[in-house]
Amino acid sequence: MTHLTRRSFVGAAALLAAPALIRPSLAADPVKLGCLFSSSGTMANLEGRLNHVVRMAADEINGRGGVNGRQIEVLTSDPASDWPLYAQVGRQMLQQEKVAALFGCWTSVSRKSVLPVVEQNDGLLFYPLHFEGDENSKNVVYMNSPPASSVLPAVDYLMGPEGVGAKRFFMIGSDYVWPRTINKQLKGYWKSKGIPETAWREEYVPFGFSNFQTLVNQVRSFASQPGGQAIVVLTVVGSSIPDFLREFANQGVTATDVPILGLDMVEADLEGLDTAKLVGHLNCWAYLQAAKGERNKKFLGDWAAYVKAKNVPFSADTVIDPMVSAYDSVHLWALAAAKAGSFAVPEVRQAFANLSFDDPSGYTLTMTGENNYVSRGVFIGSVNEKRGFDVLWQSADAPKPVPFSPYG
């Protein structure tokens, strides 16, 4: 409960000195980290989890004595899925609370909102989501993969003999920059492979769209046309994902007829669905819950224990990639700060070069000095009956991230 009490102190300037009075044994004030994840609004179900995982990582580090002799204090907020509010809260965290780093944002637009704030204040934002790439700010650490190093391997797999030998592609996305960029790069990639333009179709739906009957009809008729195996590249986000999957299954289309590659699909999207009819559909991330290895086992156990101990309002046995990415990002920051011997952003940034961290996915995360991207492994997951993903394929090592796609 300590952080709850502490959180409510934030902003009340008069009370800010209180922790120091209560715990005079502490040599130095704690160093603050800020979270920008919504716990209300449309993103709440996904982003809400990340607040807790950041806390969990901070607790781990504090348990080992903190960083540079100081404990970590995590400040959370609720930008309420309201994009300009991310910028506002981010500004408040950086300028008023003087946080050493920010961890936050899920959608591209929230990152874009915060971007000018961190750049103007020379802050650090750790961004845990895979995203559209084509951005390289020195103030953002891109924890997850840009499309060229995550989506393309997955599509390659599906086109290859191990996958389904996909020849035709139906792209369905929410109408915004991430799906459009992914699809643009995919089209460029297919063109480079000599696939004709008639082999793909592209459709976009508004945010929160749920009436997928017509689109699924179109997918079925697209798939029945000659020209080879068709697949769906699904880049809708949020509640559109389960709604699409449900309609797809209800119309009797299975993964062996037309597989879906759901690029934003995580375990949490399968909550509330009967996945027996969805078995075999794919996603691709830098971490899957089914990843092998002791590190993952420990992480899953830690999270379950944390949920139980702190009464976290999220499932104890669902862990999704962005959670691990957020967890990794706290550790990476701590490693960099320890290496730099300082919390000042320029020095921490310098320390990113050649940093590495063994994360729960089983891969070793590495950073180079060239950019703020992180090398991660690639997993392709396959939906199973138990609302989870089995690991179908994983990359041999962590490919070097390619911020700017050559195909788009």
Residue 361 C-beta: closest distance to other proteins, Å = 17
Residues 374/332, Cβ–Cβ less than 8 Å = yes
Considering only residues 29, 162, 317, 370, which one is a binding residue for other proteins as defined by CB under 8 A?
162
For residues 89 to 128, the per-residue mask of contacts with other proteins, x marking binding by CB under 8 A and - elsewhere, is: x-xxx-xxx----------xx--xx-xxx-xxx-------
User: By CB under 8 A, what part of segment 235-254 binds other proteins?
Assistant: 239, 242-243, 246-247, 249-252
Considering only residues 6, 44, 167, 366, which one is a binding residue for other proteins as defined by CB under 8 A?
44
Residues 177/147, Cβ–Cβ less than 8 Å = no
Residue 251 C-beta: closest distance to other proteins, Å = 5
For residues 4 to 23, the per-residue mask of contacts with other proteins, x marking binding by CB under 8 A and - elsewhere, is: ---xx-xxx-----------
User: By CB under 8 A, what part of segment 183-242 binds other proteins?
Assistant: 203-211, 213-215, 217-218, 220-221, 224-226, 239, 242
Considering only residues 180, 187, 331, 349, which one is a binding residue for other proteins as defined by CB under 8 A?
180
User: By CB under 8 A, what part of segment 385-404 binds other proteins?
Assistant: 385, 390-393
Which residues, including other chains, have CB under 8 Å from residue 224's CB and lie 6 or more apart?
none
Measured between alpha carbons, how far is 259 from 219 in angstroms, rounded to an integer?
11
Tokens 């590190």, residue located: 295
Under rule CB under 8 A, residue 85 binds other proteins: yes
Residue 154 C-beta: closest distance to other proteins, Å = 12
Measured between alpha carbons, how far is 300 from 344 in angstroms, rounded to an integer?
32
182: its two tokens: 């992914």
Binding residues with other proteins: total (CB under 8 A): 104
Residue 335 C-beta: closest distance to other proteins, Å = 27
Residue 290 C-beta: closest distance to other proteins, Å = 9
Residues 373/146, Cβ–Cβ less than 8 Å = yes
Residue 406 C-beta: closest distance to other proteins, Å = 15
Residue 143 C-beta: closest distance to other proteins, Å = 20
User: By CB under 8 A, what part of segment 60-79 binds other proteins?
Assistant: 75-79
Residues 217/252, Cβ–Cβ less than 8 Å = no
Measured between alpha carbons, how far is 103 from 35 in angstroms, rounded to an integer?
5
| DSSP for residue 27 | S
Concatenated DSSP letters for 339-386? HHTS--HHHHHHHTTT-EEE-TTSSEEEE-SS-SBEE---EEEEE-TT
Considering only residues 163, 262, 322, 401, which one is a binding residue for other proteins as defined by CB under 8 A?
163
C-beta of 308 vs 400, nearer to other proteins = 308
Angle at 282 between CA 277 and CA 285, to 5 degrees: 140
Nearest Cα residue to 128 out of 318, 286, 294:
286
- The strand order across the sheet containing 230-235 reads 200-205, 168-174, 230-235, 260-262, 282-285, 379-383, 389-394
C-beta of 157 vs 332, nearer to other proteins = 157
Residue 172 C-beta: closest distance to other proteins, Å = 10
C-beta of 194 vs 226, nearer to other proteins = 226
Residue 120 C-beta: closest distance to other proteins, Å = 3
User: By CB under 8 A, what part of segment 320-359 binds other proteins?
Assistant: none
Measured between alpha carbons, how far is 370 from 353 in angstroms, rounded to an integer?
8
Cα-based distances in Å from 324 to 183, 320, 331: 26, 7, 11
User: By CB under 8 A, what part of segment 258-317 binds other proteins?
Assistant: 259, 268, 271-272, 274, 277, 279-280, 282, 313-315
Q: With CB under 8 A as the contact rule, which of the stretches 19-27, 143-151, 255-263, 341-349 interacts with other proteins?
A: 255-263
User: By CB under 8 A, what part of segment 20-39 binds other proteins?
Assistant: 39
Measured between alpha carbons, how far is 165 from 398 in angstroms, rounded to an integer?
25
